[in-house]
């Protein structure tokens, strides 16, 4: 395991920082997927979109949409009742 100094940590964190964040809490299927699609369409290739949802169905719905549309789910986390996705626009 290599040691990374603070400046490298900062560069890595900035590189992984989402280009845009959308909050779709309180919305239910299919609205979180629709809004995710709209925002991904607005981003450039390689950019990251962070989506925060609280609809339990969003975990499967958004993950499936990302895979089906050829994008990359960079990270997924459950934070209490929130579901947090970081999606990379691939095409």
Q: Which residues are catalytic?
A: 29
35, two tokens: 């809004």
Separation CA 15–CA 19 (nearest Å) = 10
* DSSP letters for 13-73: HHHTS-SEEEE-TT--TTHHHHHHHHHHHHSPTT-EEEEEE--TTHHHHHHHHHHHTT-EE
What six digits make up the tokens of 33? 């997927």
């Amino acid at each position: 395991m290599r040691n990374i100094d603070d400046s490298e940590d900062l560069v890595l964190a900035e590189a992984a920082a989402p280009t845009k964040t959308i909050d779709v809490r309180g919305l239910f299927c299919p609205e979180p997927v629709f809004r995710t699609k709209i925002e991904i369409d607005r981003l450039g290739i390689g950019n990251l979109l962070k989506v925060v949802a609280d609809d339990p169905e969003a975990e499967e719905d958004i993950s499936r949409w990302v895979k089906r549309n050829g994008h990359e789910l960079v990270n997924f986390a459950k934070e209490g009742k929130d579901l947090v996705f970081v999606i990379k626009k691939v095409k």
